[in-house]
Amino acid sequence: MPTRRVYGWLPGRRSGVSESITWVREHQSYMTDENRIDELVADLQEGSMAVRRAATDELGASGEAAIEPLITVMLESDNDVRWYAARALVQIGEPAVEPLLEAMHAVEDRDFRRYAMAALAGIGEPAVEPLIGVIEEGNPDLRPFASMALCRIGEAAVDPLLRLLRHPDPEMQECAAILLWKMGEPGATALTAALETGWAGKQ
């Protein structure tokens, strides 16, 4: 009776031909995606405007796999490339929020931080609570960037900033009031109503 062949050379596999072929296809697909992302990042750095725009859209559609390469290229490139990378991260959305904030804490480059915050502002509501967290940290280098992003996000940030008006630290209350006012309408309207009713500052 013939012996069933075992493909022990495949990592973590002790199975038959069909499972081995499946593993190869999955691994090949992963490598293809990774290589494609590298190609698209290169297009952001070196391509024409049309090529960069197309690469931005495809990277944005690539999801979480593109986040680390995009943040890396933002760290290493000029502001033109950062602009395209930030747009791609906006398209990826919520999964990019924490990696962007982690990079901002780790890297002091002001231009990088400015484009990272622009990406967070573009992502919008999913970035609000993490940005409020940056405000509460009290980091004097990061707070201005977080403040700018919250003002740009606008309405989705109003209720969290109203909650910050009731923070026990008067400095946090003042910061929240300033941001609501700078936001314009609807922030200023909400701030005025809170002050008129005596709601602000109450624990």
Residues 6+ apart with CB under 8 A from 185: none
Check residue 5 and give its pLDDT: 31
pLDDT at residue 106 greater than cutoff 70: yes
Contact 127, 97 (CB under 8 A): yes
Work out the average pLDDT over 121-125: 97
Per the CB < 8 A criterion, the answer to whether 50 and 44 are in contact is: no
Q: What's the pLDDT tens digit per position in 8-32? A: 323 344 444 555 445 444 444 444 4
Amino acid letter, 45: Q
Give the integer Cα–Cα distance in Å for 106 and 130: 16
pLDDT band at 34 (very low <50, low <70, confident <90, very high): confident
Rounded distance, CA 116 to CA 103, Å? 9
Domains and CATH numbers, the chain: 16-91 (1.25.10), 124-203 (1.25.10)
pTM of the model: 0.78
pLDDT in tens, 41-87: 999 999 999 999 999 999 999 999 999 999 999 999 999 999 999 99
Residue 202: pLDDT band by 50, 70, 90 thresholds?
A: low
pLDDT at 1: 38
